[in-house]
Amino acid sequence: MNRPVNDMQLKVLRWVADGADIDNPPNDTFKMSAGALRDRKLIKVSKSNGKWDATITEIGTYYLEHGRYPQTNRAPFNRRRNQLPKPRTAPSKSPKDPTAVTSKPEPTPTAPHKSPDVIDIPTQLRRPHKAVREIIDHKARLEVPKEQQQRALLILHALAQEAIRRDWIVTPNPSTFRRDPWTDRRTKVSPGADLFTIDAGDKPVAIRLRMRQKRVDHELTEKEIADKERYRWSFAPKYDFVQTERMRLEIRESSSNAYVIEDTVATQIEDKLTRAVEGIAAASVKERELVERRRQRDIEIAEERRRAEILRQHAERYGSWFDTLDQLRSDLAHHSELADTVDRLRHAVRLRGPDDEDFCALGEYLAWSERHLDASDPLRTIRLPHGERPDLSYEEWREWSRRNPRR
């Protein structure tokens, strides 16, 4: 009788099929597992010149491809004639016999029509993807009961195969190893709830599979009851979350956004696996739309900045012309005050007359003042602003100045 192969032996069998690299063994007890595989005629083990080697057999290759041993059922052998026994047939009645009843051939049953969108669920794990193989080698990552593990693996296998058929990228989320410092034994550590990711082109999504949970009231344990009676307090939770009999498949785009498919009373996940594939594709479509919206928004922002820069340049040019005009106004006002001062000085010198002892000095000072007044006339040399003529209106410049005050 062919004995089943456990997970450790299956990993060694794959390692032998890949070439049995002795420098990179799958575990520390691979030779013990190889001996068990040899007894099942799945591999051949040899040792020549002190070098250990193993090769896979046809039965081992068949087991990896189909997940079971090849069928060995044979028909009984007829020793008398060294022939296989012929099947017995009922004696046929002659068509001339009036009692013969002619029966019409029964129509051959036709296969039911299957929608092209339905995803076939395999019955065996044949050549699973590396992402699914990681879960097979570490089934503790599946948050499902042991009797549901095979079903969960088949669902994940079908989903991964459909993704590969669509040329999507399936990325494993491998487990890590933790070595015990005392016993030097390695233990597998789960990387988290994400089993693997599927990328349909623009957005990788995480795949999770677990049993649906329901909330029930927490029942106090004996220790919690004793603590409550002794200390008059208890930190027991109010609710507990327990697994139900319904499986739940999650397509997670982020930590807060997930597309969920789960068993119901009438349907199972296998019947709705197409919706999971559509959800994976929709995630990439949504990501492309989001990227396009961001690109359009960046274009709009760049255009707004370009227009704002052009408006700033026009406003600064208007401000430069205005500052030049305002400076001319200030210079004219100052020159007007200076002319009034020179007139009053001239009147004062005229009132003192030639008999004043400072008449000569006052006359020279008045003459210099009149020359300075004539030379400092702003209208004699008008200073022009720099740049081209501004094309903003006064209202537009005043509005821009109000929104962008000078510091």
- pLDDT tens sequence for the chain (407 residues): 477 788 888 888 888 888 887 877 888 778 888 888 888 888 898 887 778 888 999 888 888 888 788 876 544 444 444 444 444 444 444 444 444 444 444 444 444 444 455 788 888 888 899 999 999 999 889 988 888 899 999 999 999 999 999 999 999 999 998 888 888 888 888 999 999 999 999 999 999 999 988 888 888 888 888 887 887 777 788 888 887 888 999 999 988 889 999 988 888 898 889 999 999 999 999 999 999 999 999 999 999 999 999 999 999 999 999 999 999 999 999 999 999 999 999 998 888 888 888 889 988 999 999 999 999 999 988 889 888 898 889 999 999 999 998 77
What integer pLDDT is reported at residue 321 of this predicted model? 93
Nearest in space to 12 (alpha carbons), one of 43, 50, 57 = 43
In the block, tokens 């009788």 appear at 1
Closest among 67, 26, 68, 61 to 43, alpha carbons compared: 61
Q: Does the domain formed by 7-66 have CATH 1.10.1040.10? A: no
E-state strands within 51-160: 51-56
Question: Would you mind telling me the total number of residues written for the chain in this entry?
Answer: 407
Residue partners of 358: CB distance under 8 A and separation at least 6: 352
The predicted pLDDT at position 114 comes to 45
Alpha-carbon distance of 283 to 280, in angstroms, equals 5
Judge whether 60 and 42 are in contact, CB under 8 Å: yes
pLDDT at residue 90, as a whole number: 46
User: What pLDDT score does 37 carry?
Assistant: 87
316: closest CA among 392, 382, 384?
Answer: 392
**Interacting residues of 320 by C-beta distance below 8 A, sequence separation 6+:** 385, 386, 387
Q: What is the pLDDT of residue 400?
A: 92
pLDDT value at residue 72: 65
Residue 279, Cβ neighbours under 10 Å: how many? 19
Q: What is the DSSP letter of 206?
A: E
What single DSSP character describes residue 181? T
Burial class for 339, CB neighbours closer than 10 Å (0-12, 13-18, 19+): middle
Report pTM: 0.55
Phi (first) and psi of residue 232, to 5 degrees: 60, 25
User: Which sequence spans correspond to the domains of the chain?
Assistant: 7-66, 130-263, 310-403
Which DSSP string do the residues of 213-227 spell out, in sequence order? EEEEEPPPPHHHHHH
